[in-house]
């Protein structure tokens, strides 16, 4: 009889290596929890929204204030006492903006004892208040602007000179133009020749005012 084969011994199980003394088991790794995002207080959010609305309203108001009729400048301040006094004496309206119903331009040349006198800019205009008389100048060229809100409105050279500041008395007029008193004032029109001081202003006409000391 042949010898019986020896039974195979089961594979030996390897024993886990002993942990060195004093070494504890490593803790399991944890996934870090993301930090919560900071939130603005509700009061701040509401205040920010109100501020944004106020800024938008202010921008719209400023934009609308720039449009419309042309004016002399700012607004809010009262017109100068001198301009109010002169326009009342001349019976010329003081407006918030240039009128467009009547629009006439007349050139004025002034000569005092043979020397040319400049007609100043901004006669009848108060930039601080934005008020503008129906008779005024924009520059020192001598061009008079008749710009009225009334159709077919007319004014005279004497009224313009009064808005400028010319007094009503004879001696005061000489002093206003820098001439010795007594003096004479004469006016010549390019279109009509010799005319009185209260000549009506006409479009495209040129008036020469001559002041001569006696």
Is residue 168 situated within a structural domain?
Answer: yes
Is residue 181 situated within a structural domain?
Answer: yes
Summarize the confidence of residues 63-84 as an average pLDDT. 65
Backbone angles phi, psi at 108, to 5 degrees: -120, 125
The predicted structure's pLDDT at residue 59? 62
How many structural domains does the chain have? 1
In the structure encoding, which two tokens stand for residue 145, read together?
A: 């602007």
Binned at pLDDT 50, 70 and 90, residue 68 comes out as very low
Q: How far is 132 from 70, CA to CA, in rounded Å?
A: 10
Report the range of poorest mean pLDDT among 57-66, 114-123, 150-159. Answer: 57-66
C-alpha distance from residue 201 to each of 63, 130, 191 (Å)? 37, 24, 11
Summarize the confidence of residues 71-85 as an average pLDDT. 79
Q: Domain of 136: which CATH number?
A: 2.170.130
| pLDDT tens figures, 91-141 | 999 999 999 999 999 999 999 999 999 999 999 999 999 999 999 999 999
Structural domain span for residue 127: 81-213
Is residue 60 situated within a structural domain?
Answer: no
């Amino acid at each position: 009889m042949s010898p019986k084969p020896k039974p195979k011994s089961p594979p030996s199980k390897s024993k886990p290596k002993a942990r060195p003394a004093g070494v504890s088991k490593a803790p399991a790794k944890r996934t870090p929890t993301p930090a919560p995002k900071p939130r603005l207080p509700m009061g701040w959010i509401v205040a920010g929204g109100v501020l944004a609305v106020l800024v938008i309203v202010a921008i719209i108001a400023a934009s609308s204030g720039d449009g419309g009729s042309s004016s002399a400048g700012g607004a809010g301040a009262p017109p100068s006492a001198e301009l109010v006094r002169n326009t009342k004496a001349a019976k010329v309206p003081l407006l918030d903006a240039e009128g467009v119903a009547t629009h006439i331009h007349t050139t004025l040349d002034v000569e005092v004892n043979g020397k040319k006198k400049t007609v100043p800019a901004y006669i009848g205009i108060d930039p601080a208040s934005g008020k503008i008389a129906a008779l005024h100048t924009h520059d020192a060229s001598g061009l008079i602007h008749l710009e009225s809100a009334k159709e077919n409105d007319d004014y005279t050279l004497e009224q313009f000179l009064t808005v400028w500041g010319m007094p009503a008395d004879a001696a005061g007029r000489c002093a206003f133009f820098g001439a010795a008193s007594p003096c004479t004032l004469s006016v010549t029109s390019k279109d009509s020749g010799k005319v009185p001081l209260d000549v009506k202003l006409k479009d495209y006409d040129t008036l020469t005012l001559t002041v001569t000391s006696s």
